[in-house]
Amino acid sequence: MGQDVVSNLFEVLPYLERFHGKTMLVKVGGNVLNDRKSKDCFARSITFLVCVGIKPLIVHGGGPEITTLMEKLGMKPTFRNGYRVTDEQTMEVVEMVLNKINKDLVATLNLSGVKAIGICGKDVNFLIAEKDTQYGDIGYVGKVKRINEDLVSWLFQAGYVPVIAPIGVGEDGTTYNLNADVAAAQIAIALKAEMIIFMTDVDGVMKDGRLVSQLDVEEALKLIQEGIVKAGMVPKLSCAVEAVKNGVKSARIINGNDPTALLATLFASGPIGTIVTNH
C-alpha cells in the first residue's frame, strides 16, 4: 500500500514540476454546480491544485438556474446562437442568480480549505464590457473589452483563489450578461494562463458517438462547420480554439460530473476528455 502511494507520487512528479506556479483557468458550467456531489468534489480538486502550487482561477456559469428562476417568475427564456436574449428585467434575474451561485461556490471552496474570494466584472472594474451585436440586438449581452489583470495578480499574491461571475460592466456603468465560456477564454488569454479547462456535463467533444481525445485548431473548426458540434458545445469549442490561438498552451473539455476528471486531466498520463492545441 505504502509503496503504491509512493510510486504514484513519483509518476505525477513531472506534472507537478511542469505546472507549479502556473495559472490554470477552470470554467465550471451551471450543470455541474447544480449537483451537490460534483460541487464538493470540484472544491476538493481545487484545494489539491492550490496545495501543489498551481494558481487556479475559476469562472462559473449558471445558465440552467437562470432559466429556472425566469420560468418561476413567469418570464420566457429566449436564446439566439446560444446567447440568452437579455432585456432589463432578465438582466436583473441573471445578476441575482449569478451572484448567489458565486457566493455559494465561494462558501463550498472555503469549507474545503481554499481561500476563495468571489468577484464579478464590476469589482475594481475587473471585466469592462461593451454591447455584443454579433447576432443582432439581444439586449444587455456583452463582450469583454478590457480586463483588470492587476486585480488577479494581487489576489494570487495574497494566496486567494478568485471565483468570477460572468457579469461585465460598461464604461458608462451598464451591467452586461457575459457568456461564461467566452468570458473564461478572454480572461485566460489576458492572464496568459497555461491551460483553460471547461468542465461541462459530457465527457468531451463527441463524434459518431465516440469521444474525440485530441483536436488541433483546424480539426476543431471543421467539426463546428460540419455541424457535428452543436448547441452549447459550439461556443465552448470556439472559445477553446480562441484561447489556444492566443497563447494559452492547451484547452481541455472534460466531464465535471466525473469526480476524478479535473485531477486526471492534469496528472494522469492517458488523455482525459478532449484536448485542443494550436498545432
Ligand X SMILES: CC(=O)N[C@@H](CCC(=O)OP(=O)(O)O)C(=O)O
Ligand Y SMILES: Nc1ncnc2c1ncn2[C@@H]1O[C@H](COP(=O)(O)OP(=O)(O)O)[C@@H](O)[C@H]1O
- Contact between 168 and ligand Y per CB under 6 A: no
Residues, the chain, total? 279
Candidate ranges 35-43, 44-52, 173-181, 212-220; the one touching ligand X (CB under 6 A):
173-181
Site for ligand Y in 45-74 (CB under 6 A): 61, 63
Helices (H), the chain: 2-19, 30-33, 36-51, 63-72, 88-111, 149-157, 180-190, 217-225, 233-245, 261-267
**Binding partner of residue 141 among ligand Y, ligand X, none, CB cut-off 5 to 8 Å per kind:** ligand X
Residue nearest to ligand X (CB): 61
# of chain residues touching ligand Y (CB under 6 A): 18
- Contact between 221 and ligand Y per CB under 6 A: no
Which grid coordinates belong to 93? 434575474
Let me know the angle formed at the C-alpha of 257 by 40 and 248, rounded to the nearest 5 degrees. Answer: 95
Binding mask 82-111 for ligand X (x = CB under 6 A): -xx---------x-----------------
Distance between CA atoms of residues 276 and 196, nearest Å: 10
Residue nearest to ligand Y (CB): 232
Site for ligand X in 189-218 (CB under 6 A): none
Strands 175-177 and 167-169: antiparallel
Q: Which is nearer to ligand X, 19 or 253 (CB)?
A: 253
Q: How far is the CB of 53 from ligand X (least distance, A)?
A: 28
3-state secondary structure of 58: strand
Would you report the helix, strand and coil content of the chain in percent, each value rounded to 5?
45, 25, 30
Distance between CA atoms of residues 86 and 192, nearest Å: 30
Exactly one of 62, 121, 256, 273 binds ligand X (CB under 6 A); which one? 62
Q: Which residues bind ligand X (CB under 6 A)?
A: 29-30, 61-63, 66, 83-84, 94, 141, 166, 177, 179-180
